[in-house]
């Protein structure tokens, strides 16, 4: 087998060993051998052996610590569609559960975006209805992530753009609906790079210029806010930080600011404080404004006046944490659950 196939397969097996029983790892290895044999002689448009694709998709799926059936199904997810192997043969080798997931993946692959946005919600519902087992959707999302990341090898520009458009309008929202935030970001940014390559490169370059140590900024900010809140006797809270993704920056620049300069976006770096009660939310706001200078026009109280979709949170943008403005969102865990779902 080619070196890349062995390396990727070994990575999958190593990850399964971290939480699956030894006998289950053996069944993962069985699926690997079976898939390699089934896809023998098949190659992707990139020129690499086809089996590399399902293995790479499985590596993305492993972020969710999936069960044995999900791992086996992801490794074999293209076998029914791209080889002469049938559902019944997979059931005979790996059991009913795996056979049904693989068949479900073949069915949902036939759901296509036809460039009509008014039908998007219907398509999403159809997609979910066809996949009676949510594991089908998890595998399909992992599959699409790798496809979008290798889309540059597709020879037809029109097809590349159609796949990217389909991904950003169907698959990314599905990932969001299932609370798979990292999957959502990968799908959005991968599609953005295909649909608007010049804008993508420009925004990435600007983010590197201003936030070349992005992770260090978020880690430092989380520590600063945590220490500050403890100093003021706040309890039972958590703090998260994030640097806005290229696609989200593009969305805000194009829809809100009609500009290309990312410095006009005030929430490039943002932190979220999750509290236990509404009263704690306002206490945190008071503490934040005690230590940092708020930009008055950027204080939004969506707890007092929720958004039309039920979203509740307090947003404030402050100066003094770093050399650029920082947004801080404050909400309860219940509000967080609603915000993440919608």
pLDDT digits (tens, 9 = 90+) for 57-92: 999 999 999 999 999 999 999 999 999 999 999 999
First vs last C-alpha separation in the chain:
45
Tokens of 63: 């972020």
Characterise 52 by phi-psi region: left (phi > 0), alpha (psi -120 to 50), beta (else): alpha
CA 215 to chain centre: 17
How do residues 104-158 score in pLDDT, each as one tens digit?
888 887 766 665 665 566 666 666 666 678 899 999 999 999 999 999 888 888 8
Using CA atoms, how far apart are residues 68 and 49, in angstroms rounded to an integer? Answer: 24
Using CA atoms, how far apart are residues 156 and 158, in angstroms rounded to an integer? Answer: 6
Q: What is the pLDDT of residue 198?
A: 93
Q: What is the pLDDT of residue 216?
A: 77
Q: What is the pLDDT of residue 339?
A: 75
Q: What is the pLDDT of residue 115?
A: 57
The alpha carbon dihedral of 94, 150, 81, 134 has a sign of positive
DSSP 274: E
Q: What is the pLDDT of residue 126?
A: 67
10 tagged catalytic = no
Q: Against a cut of 0.85, is the pTM above it?
A: no
Q: What is the pLDDT of residue 127?
A: 65
Using CA atoms, how far apart are residues 28 and 16, in angstroms rounded to an integer? Answer: 8
Please identify every stretch of the chain with a pLDDT value under 70, giving residue numbers as ranges. 1-3, 111-131, 212-215, 340-342
Q: What is the pLDDT of residue 264?
A: 80
Q: What is the pLDDT of residue 252?
A: 85
Q: What is the pLDDT of residue 155?
A: 85
- Report the percentage of the chain scoring pLDDT > 90: 59
Backbone angles phi, psi at 116, to 5 degrees: -120, 100
Q: What is the pLDDT of residue 269?
A: 87
Q: What is the pLDDT of residue 149?
A: 93
Q: What is the pLDDT of residue 191?
A: 96
Choosing from 4, 48, 81, 232, which is the catalytic residue? 81
Choosing from 82, 93, 97, 232, which is the catalytic residue? 82
Q: What is the pLDDT of residue 145?
A: 96
Q: What is the pLDDT of residue 268?
A: 83
Using CA atoms, how far apart are residues 106 and 237, in angstroms rounded to an integer? Answer: 44
82 tagged catalytic = yes
């Amino acid at each position: 087998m080619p070196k890349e196939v062995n390396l990727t397969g070994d990575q999958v097996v190593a990850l399964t060993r971290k939480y699956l029983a030894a006998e289950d790892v053996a069944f993962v290895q069985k699926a690997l051998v079976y898939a390699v044999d089934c896809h023998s002689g098949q190659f992707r448009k990139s020129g690499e052996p086809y089996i590399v694709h399902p293995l790479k998709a499985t590596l993305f799926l492993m972020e969710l610590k999936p069960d044995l059936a999900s791992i086996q199904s992801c490794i074999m997810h293209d076998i029914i569609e791209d080889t002469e192997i049938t559902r019944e043969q997979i059931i005979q080798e790996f059991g009913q559960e795996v056979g049904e997931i693989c068949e479900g993946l073949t069915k949902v692959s036939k759901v296509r975006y036809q460039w009509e946005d008014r039908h998007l919600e219907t398509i999403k519902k159809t997609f979910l209805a066809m996949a009676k087992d949510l594991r089908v959707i998890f595998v399909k999302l992992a599959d699409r992530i790798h496809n979008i990341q290798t889309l540059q090898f597709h020879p037809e520009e029109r097809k590349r753009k159609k796949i990217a458009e389909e991904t950003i309008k169907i698959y990314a929202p599905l990932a969001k609906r299932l609370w798979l935030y990292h999957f959502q970001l990968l799908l959005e940014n991968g599609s953005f790079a295909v649909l608007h390559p010049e804008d993508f490169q420009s925004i990435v370059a600007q983010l590197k210029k201003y936030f070349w140590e992005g992770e260090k900024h978020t880690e430092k900010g989380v520590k600063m806010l945590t220490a500050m809140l403890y100093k003021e006797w706040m309890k039972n809270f958590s703090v998260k930080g994030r640097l806005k993704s290229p696609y989200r920056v593009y969305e805000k620049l194009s829809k809100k600011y009609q500009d290309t300069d990312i410095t006009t976006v005030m929430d490039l770096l943002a932190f979220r404080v999750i509290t236990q009660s509404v009263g704690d939310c306002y206490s945190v706001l008071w503490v934040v404004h005690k230590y940092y200078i708020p930009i008055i026009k950027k204080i939004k109280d969506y707890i007092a006046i929720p958004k039309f979709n039920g979203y509740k949170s307090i947003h404030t943008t402050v100066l003094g944490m770093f050399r650029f403005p920082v947004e801080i969102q404050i909400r309860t865990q219940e509000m967080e659950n609603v915000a993440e779902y919608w």
